A and B are shown apart, each in its own frame.
Chain A
Amino acid sequence: MPETIEQVPHEAEADLHVRHHFANAEQQMEASTLGMWTFLITEVLFFGGMFAGYAVYREMYPAAFAATSEFMNVEIGAANTAVLICSSLTMAMAVRAAQLSKRGDLIKYLIGTLIFGITFLVVKAFEYHAKYVEHLIPGPNFHPEHLAPQFMHNAQILFFLYFCMTGMHAVHMVAGVGLLTFLLIQAYRNVFHAHYFAPVEMIGLYWHFVDIVWIFLFPLLYLIGHWHW
């Protein structure tokens, strides 16, 4: 399918962005890519510690964990999941636009990703607020209504894990929003084109990773107990 490509800068212009210690743009791109993947592996281990804690306590208290599912709003969680998946789509489109030197599309898709990301965070904020109002924040004021008393203590652990894991995820989302804003500014200044789009791709990788973490969090935190075999 023929695509109209906007003015493609000469390949030599790519070398403007090659830092002094790299031999060429290709080496820099490979290094950046490996660097970002390595960083994401550290993030897997980071979240992995929390997932391990979740796994241990869920195995110990399956009934308590299942009982907490009534406090999780599955609809909102599902909606947020859809929002994030859409944001990954727009992010991927943004990377593609950068590869094709399409500044207009790039800006459009980055804005779209930002909107989805901020929507997710706003919805999360409302969720957290609702939990606060219902006394579901672990600590001295923890007091879930209608929860069977025998699950009270163990439910606090589950809610702690909920806030810890979704909170850590939200922190990463906020960082992602910041990075996207940076990208947007750079895109507006026409920095990215077919021969230099590494930051877009790398931040795209990061964004997809944060999305994937949520794909794991959603079923583990929201959907347990809602399954009836």
Chain B
Amino acid sequence: MATTYPTTPEAAAEEPVNYLNVEHGWKSWLFTTDHKRIAMLYVFSITAMFMIGGTFAMLMRLHLTRPEGIFAPETYNRFFTMHGVIMVFFFLVPSIPATLGNFFLPIMIGAKDLAFPRVNLLSWYLYIFGAIFAIYVVAAGGVDTGWTFYAPYSTTYSNSYVLSAAVGVFVAGFSSITTGLNFIVTVHKMRAPGMTWMRLPLFVWANYATGLIQILGTPVVAIALVLVAVERVMHVGIFDPNVGGDPILFQHIFWFYSHPAVYIMILPGMGVISEVIACFARKRPFGYEFIAASSMGIAILSFVVWGHHMFITGQSVYTGIVFSFLSFFVAVPSAIKVFNWTATMYRGSVTFESPMLYAFGFIGLFTIGGLTGLFLSTMATDVPLHGTYFVVAHFHFVMVGGMLVAFLSGIHFWWPKMTGRMYSEAWARFAALMIFAGFNLTFLPQFVLGYLGMPRRYAAYPPEFQVLNVLSTAGASILGISLVIPLIYLTYAWKYGPKAGNNPWGAKGLEWEIQSPPTTFNFDDTPTVTEEAYNYGEEVEEQRVA
């Protein structure tokens, strides 16, 4: 591992100009158009929202240690809704694209910035504006409809802050749209000479595919929320069956976005894993073209499977058949990726640094999460499992065991580049293992609970489910504490860690050829790309000492 310790005070003081120290003061941050600074702004914001959403998770698991609960049911209902709304819309959807994507997508293609830097800053302000609404809702007393806002409960019956929550999510949605738009135009128009599509890093492919979903899907949920908001205020009857409205129409419009949204919440993570495994196996990903194509395939197919959330709503059985079939179809590209990552290690030269440990965790947990999705695509088994803890466990495996773990992997992998400092590898490995253990203890029992019939969103449950619930809470405690550990050592490293060189991991990629941290414009001269991506070869070993 290449870290250079400054040996004299003068050497320590002499730090090259980079995007962090080029300007100081709050104005230089709040009015920046540098994609790297905007990425760091996002890192702080989504971490803060994650803490809030995570606090609600801890309160939920605390409540669920007793069959009769601890808080009032109305309070618990607000906990799980706020947890879902914040984690989905204010953490997972922006997470990797807005932080690692913003930071590295331009660099990876040899550009000086994204196509529209001011729009990038706007997207952060939109996020903050939406987050303020979300925090207001929390402070005012919460919303209790579930993050899915189903009508007519949300439009007519709920006594909570539905309107404010809808506005917050609506605004945050535009943050997501602008990010996606920026990425798409950047990848199309700002690649350096020689950077052909098939030389793009897989992380770029993943974020590009995510951008496609963001721009096509998010406007539809925006409309769904507008309709809910108007219905709530004016009672016009659009989802009210008493006047001819159809509550199921809301579900269609909502899930038309929210299913593709879950792919927004996994594709970037898959991109990170492709990068990390290639680096720490010292190999080009096994089937580069297949991995790239599978990202695009997932993005396209994601739009035609939303009805698998609605098998038992009374929609036509034939509609259900089509959605079920296509849902199996969309599982294939994800499987292709998992096989390719595994095959990448074949005849590689594997080391076990913390980003790689997280990548291993991702592959295992995402596999389980994805396979349990098949239980829900199968119509007959979806009937007893829908609305139970099986579904809860499934999506936490893919979103936490998948996306969050991938996010941590990427943050660790690129932290030396983003901050110029190296973190404590010992603490990182410890935290990775604790997170893995805590996560499994939290969510594996929930598969069993779901199979046994325990419904989700229940503030009280039959006593026979208590043991499994207590196990789950024990796991959640470990997971919660473990997630705080990286926060501490990464922050510590930023200030006091040893300087990392340009390429501490000996990785291939344009981002590793520039200084750590990068300068404001990334490259002194626009690079010309002459080789394939991941051109690891025999000379790689020397490069490890940057």
Do A and B interact directly, with beta carbons closer than 8 Å? Answer: yes
**A residues at B contact (CB < 8 Å):** 19-23, 27, 30-31, 34-35, 38-39, 41-43, 45-46, 48-50, 52-53, 56-57, 60-61, 138-140, 142, 153-154, 156-157, 159-161, 164
Binds A, one of B49-57, B216-224, B447-455, B473-481: B216-224
B2 within 8 A of A: no
Among A21, A34, A45, A142, the most chain B Cβ lie within 10 Å of the Cβ of A21
Known contacts A49-B219, A157-B237; A38/B521 CB under 8 A: no
Report which of A20, A42, A49, A164 forms a contact with B215, defined as CB distance below 8 A.
Answer: A42
Closest 4 CB pairs of A and B: A49-B223, A46-B219, A21-B113, A138-B236
A153, B219: Cβ atoms closer than 8 Å = no
B198 within 8 A of A: no
Residues of B in contact, count (CB < 8 Å) = 46
Listed A/B pairs (19) with beta-carbon separation below 8 Å: A20-B521, A22-B190, A31-B115, A34-B185, A42-B177, A43-B219, A46-B220, A49-B224, A56-B246, A57-B249, A60-B246, A61-B244, A140-B235, A142-B236, A154-B244, A157-B236, A157-B237, A157-B238, A157-B243
A41, B188: Cβ atoms closer than 8 Å = no
Chain B residues, Cβ within 8 Å of A20: 112-113, 521
Report which of B188, B237, B526 forms a contact with A23, defined as CB distance below 8 A.
Answer: B526
For A151, give the chain B residue with the smallest CB separation.
B244
Among A19, A46, A49, the most chain B Cβ lie within 10 Å of the Cβ of A49
B249, A53: Cβ atoms closer than 8 Å = yes
Chain A residues, Cβ within 8 Å of B227: 53, 164
Chain B residues, Cβ within 8 Å of A39: 181
Known contacts A35-B181, A52-B253, A139-B234; A157/B245 CB under 8 A: yes
In the assembled complex, the Cα of A1 lies from the Cα of B30 at a distance in Å of 52
In the assembled complex, the Cα of A31 lies from the Cα of B116 at a distance in Å of 9
Chain B residues, Cβ within 8 Å of A142: 236
B189 within 8 A of A: yes
Chain B residues, Cβ within 8 Å of A23: 526
In the assembled complex, the Cα of A220 lies from the Cα of B45 at a distance in Å of 44
A21, B117: Cβ atoms closer than 8 Å = yes
B181, A38: Cβ atoms closer than 8 Å = yes
Report which of A30, A50, A56 forms a contact with B223, defined as CB distance below 8 A.
Answer: A50
B220, A160: Cβ atoms closer than 8 Å = no
Chain A residues, Cβ within 8 Å of B188: 31, 34
- 19 other A-B residue contacts (CB within 8 Å) besides A49-B219, A164-B226: A20-B112, A20-B113, A20-B521, A31-B186, A35-B182, A38-B215, A41-B215, A42-B215, A45-B216, A48-B220, A57-B246, A138-B234, A138-B237, A142-B236, A153-B243, A156-B236, A156-B237, A157-B236, A164-B227
B222, A46: Cβ atoms closer than 8 Å = yes
B218, A42: Cβ atoms closer than 8 Å = yes
A38, B184: Cβ atoms closer than 8 Å = yes
In the assembled complex, the Cα of A99 lies from the Cα of B442 at a distance in Å of 63
B111 within 8 A of A: yes
B181, A42: Cβ atoms closer than 8 Å = yes
A139, B249: Cβ atoms closer than 8 Å = no
Q: Mark B242-258, 1 if CB is under 8 A from A, else 0.
A: 11111001001100100
B383 within 8 A of A: no
Chain B residues, Cβ within 8 Å of A49: 219-220, 222-224, 253, 256
B190, A139: Cβ atoms closer than 8 Å = no
Chain A residues, Cβ within 8 Å of B243: 153-154, 156-157
Chain B residues, Cβ within 8 Å of A57: 244, 246, 249
Interface residues of B in 162-185 (CB under 8 A from A): 177, 181-182, 184-185
In the assembled complex, the Cα of A52 lies from the Cα of B223 at a distance in Å of 11
CB distance from A165 to the nearest CB of B (A): 10
CB distance from B174 to the nearest CB of A (A): 9
For A52, give the chain B residue with the smallest CB separation.
B253
